Amino acid sequence: MEIIAITGDEKTDGRTKLGVRLIENLRCNVGILKAVTDNVKDIMITDEREIMRAEAPTISPYLNSSADKILFMRTPKDKIKEAATQAIDEFKDLDYLIFEGNKVVQYISPGLIIHVNEPSNELSEDAEKCKGRADLIVDYYELLDDSNLADLKLNIVEDEISCYRAQLISDLFGLGYGEFGKKLDREGIQVRRCQLGLFK
């Protein structure tokens, strides 16, 4: 299972917008985990839709999507890692898990971290940390346009990327490997250790 973390400003719907569009792009079994850290006593992990809508109204677009499994997780701050481990285990039979939650992502090791950047808003401390770890940055305002995900401007943070992550980004955004390879060449980004020669 590939874990994709989406981080960004908690005050906008950018993370969810991107998550829903990635689900539409992937032709395989996809799960969604929306996580909240709060001043609660116990871990709650649920797939009950009424509870999810009450606890996290912004989850509704996911509930209306074609995701194969959707869970909402609420956890106290001192049990984040335990809660994340329990929740992620629920998705082990799926191909992809799209994970949304700024604080919790600091306790897991996703295959890819995508940060949705909203330039006009000041980021929380957690969102700022996530942006610093991101592999890829997507502009919030571009997500407001309903154009194809393959047309989005993708800001790859480093000047080189692993072959594994290059393939992952290509699959997520509906870009052919050759097409994405040309984009990387134009931006001067090297693909490391690509023994298959997919991005030459």
Q: How many domains does the chain have?
A: 2
In a domain, 133, yes or no: no
Identify the band that residue 179 occupies on the pLDDT scale cut at 50, 70 and 90: confident
Point out the least confidently predicted range of 21-25, 28-32, 103-107, 119-123: 119-123
Q: Please name the amino acid found at residue 173.
A: F
Q: What is the pLDDT of residue 196?
A: 63
Q: What is the mean pLDDT of the chain?
A: 90
Q: What is the pLDDT of residue 158?
A: 86
Q: What is the pLDDT of residue 67?
A: 97
Residue whose C-alpha is closest to residue 17's, from 98, 125, 123: 98
**119-141 average pLDDT score:** 88
In a domain, 21, yes or no: yes
Point out the least confidently predicted range of 15-24, 56-65, 96-105, 141-150: 141-150
In a domain, 118, yes or no: no
Count other Cβ atoms within 10 Å, centred on residue 159: 9
**54-80 average pLDDT score:** 94
In a domain, 173, yes or no: yes
User: Same domain for 103 and 8?
Assistant: yes
Contact 112, 135 (CB under 8 A): yes
Contact 142, 13 (CB under 8 A): no
**76-89 average pLDDT score:** 95
